């Protein structure tokens, strides 16, 4: 959905999302200000005390919760905030302008979409993540370390094993995923690597969003 921003500082600005239930993932972009170099803040229900950036892996760049998203979203609205405490660089500009914005809002829906988290075990027998469906598309990001974002799907990699991946915060081309195995299963996905960007040491938390290829009751393993 789209909305127009508000320049009133240190004040929550509510935006209706139309989902009918609390979102689990929100991605926002300023559509007008071309020089907004840090322009993709992300709110995720698994790390609801802060914001991360789709275009920046560095968690030191993440704003405090009250700075960008103001308050927890509800079944009707989410909150954004122009906060002077994050006025350095372009961070303050993300919401503190009367510009046009686009917001992508997602709520968990059985059999179709799941935004959640998993805990790493730093093993080639990595975590199994239950989604309730066979994924067609998965995005993963460490929420405790400055690791890159990774996008995997069942269209570019049609067999289980190494997943070809793309990274929305990098300018590199597609990687063949050799040694960075993720299996898409009938009811979720399985990490099969010690690659720290997907399965770090120290029981790290990773956030993800997965979209279904087929609802679970009709799904088969690949």
Q: How far apart, in whole angstroms, are the C-alpha atoms of residue 120 and residue 147?
A: 13
pLDDT for position 88? 41
Closest by Cα among 132, 113, 129 to 199: 129
**Apex 136 CA angle, 2 and 20, nearest 5:** 40
User: For residue 38, what pLDDT is reported?
Assistant: 55
Is the C-alpha dihedral spanning 79, 80, 84, 87 positive or negative? positive
Contacts of 30 (CB under 8 A, 6+ apart): 5, 36, 39, 93, 94, 97, 99, 100, 101
**Alpha-carbon span 146 to 58, nearest angstrom:** 4
Q: What is the mean pLDDT, run by run of 10 residues, along the chain of 222 residues?
A: 78 89 91 67 82 81 65 90 51 61 94 95 95 94 89 85 84 80 92 91 93 70 64
Beta-carbon count within 10 A of 152 CB? 24
Contact between 23 and 96 (Cβ < 8 Å): no
pLDDT in the model for residue 32: 78
Instruction: Strand 150-153: give its sheet, edge to edge.
Output: 113-119, 205-215, 133-142, 150-153
For residue 116, which of 104, 106, 102 has the smallest C-alpha distance? 106
- pLDDT at residue number 86: 44
Instruction: For residue 47, report the phi and psi dihedrals to the nearest 5 degrees.
Output: -130, 55
């Amino acid at each position: 959905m789209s909305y127009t921003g508000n320049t009133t500082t240190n004040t929550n600005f509510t935006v209706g999302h139309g989902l009918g239930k609390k979102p689990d993932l929100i991605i926002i972009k300023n559509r007008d200000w071309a020089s907004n170099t840090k322009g993709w803040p992300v709110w995720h229900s698994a790390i609801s005390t802060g914001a991360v950036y789709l275009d920046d892996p560095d968690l030191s760049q993440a704003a405090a919760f009250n700075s960008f998203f103001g308050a927890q979203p509800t079944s009707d609205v989410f909150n954004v905030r122009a906060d002077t405490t994050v006025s350095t660089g372009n961070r303050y500009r993300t919401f503190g302008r009367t510009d046009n914005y686009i917001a992508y809002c997602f709520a968990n829906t059985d059999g179709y979409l799941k935004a959640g988290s998993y805990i790493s075990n730093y093993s080639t027998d990595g975590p199994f993540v239950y989604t309730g469906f066979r994924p067609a598309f998965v995005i993963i990001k460490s929420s405790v370390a400055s690791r890159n974002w990774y996008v995997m799907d069942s269209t570019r990699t049609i067999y289980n094993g190494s997943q070809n991946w793309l990274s929305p915060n990098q300018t590199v081309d597609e990687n063949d995923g050799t040694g960075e195995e993720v299996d898409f299963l009938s009811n979720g996905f399985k990490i099969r690597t010690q690659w720290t960007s997907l399965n770090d040491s120290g029981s790290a938390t990773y956030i993800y969003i997965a979209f279904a290829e087929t609802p679970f009751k009709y799904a088969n393993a690949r």
